Amino acid sequence: MTLNLIAAVVLVALEGYLLGSIVFGILISRLLCRDDVRTHGSGSAGMTNMLRTYGKLPGAATAIGDVAKGAVAVFIGKWLFTALVPQLDPACGAYLAAIFACIGHMKPVWFGFKGGKGVLVCGGAILALQPLVFLMLVVIFLIEFAITRIVSLGSIIIAAVYPILTLCFWAWHGADVPNLIFIFVCSVIMAAMVIYMHRSNIQRLRNGTEYRFGQKKKESDEK
C-alpha cells in the first residue's frame, strides 16, 4: 500500500506538471504568429493576453487547449489512483493532478518557467470533477464581467469562492471526513495559487488602474 501510494503520488504529480507545462498560448503564438505572446501586454501566456494580442481565433484556441489539459490531467490522475491505490478515493488523485497541472502552466519546464496564471487550467479540472460547480463559477464570473468588464477581478472572485463551493459539493455528495478535508485543502491551494498569480492585478485594482476589457491600454492582465 505504502509503495503503491508513493508511486501514485509521484506519477500523478509528474503527469499533471508535464501536461500543465504544455502552454498553448506560447505554442500557438510561436507556431501560428511567429511570435511569443509573453513579449506583449501583460507578459502572460493566457487566453486574455492572446485575445488582445492576436485576436479571437488564437484566443479561443488557447482557451480550449488550457481547459482540455486541465481536464485530461484530472482523468489521468483518477485513473492512476484507481489502478495503484484502489483503497483511496480516486478524486484525491484528480485534485492532486489539478494542482500540479496548474503549477506546470504557471511555471512550465518547456518554456523557461514562465507561463500563464492557471485560471482556465483549473477551470478544466473543475469541469471534469464538478460540472455543477463549474457552471456556478461561470455564472458568477459572467455577472461580475458584465458589471465591471474586468477579467482579473472575476478570476480572483471565482478563485476565492471555489473552495467554499467545493466543500459544499462534496459534503452534499456524502464524502467522508478525511477525503473531504483533503479535497478542501487541495481546492484552497488551487485558489491560493491563482490569486497569488494575480497579485499585480490586485495592486492595480486598489489603485483604480486595472484594465477593463475593450479599452485601449498598453498593459493588461489575463486569465
pLDDT band at 223 (very low <50, low <70, confident <90, very high): very low
Mean pLDDT of 24-51: 92
Within a domain: residue 108? yes
Q: Is 216 a domain residue?
A: no
C-alpha cell read off for 81: 489512483
Torsion angle, CA of 113/117/120/125, rounded to 10 degrees? Answer: 70
Q: Identify the domain containing residue 63 by its residue range.
A: 2-207
Quote the pLDDT of residue 79: 97
Question: Residue 213: pLDDT band by 50, 70, 90 thresholds?
Answer: confident
Question: 31-40, 75-84, 206-215 — which one is most confidently predicted on average?
Answer: 75-84
- Domain assignment present for residue 221? The answer is no
127-156 pLDDT tens trace: 999 999 999 999 999 999 999 999 999 999
194 CA to centre of own chain = 7
Mean of pLDDT values over 80-98: 96
The stretch 66-94 carries a mean pLDDT of 96
Residue 14 pLDDT > 60? yes
Average pLDDT, the chain: 93
Q: Residue 211 pLDDT more than 90?
A: no
The answer to the question of residue 217 being in a domain is no
pLDDT at 89: 93
Please indicate, yes or no, if residue 179 is contained in any of the structural domains: yes
Extract the C-alpha cell encoding 222.
Answer: 489575463
Provide the whole-model pTM. 0.91
Residue 79 inside a domain? The answer is yes
Cβ atoms of residues 139 and 54 within 8 Å? no
**218 assigned to some structural domain:** no
Amino acid making up residue 82: T
52-76: average pLDDT: 96
In a domain, 185, yes or no: yes
Please count the structural domains in the chain: 1
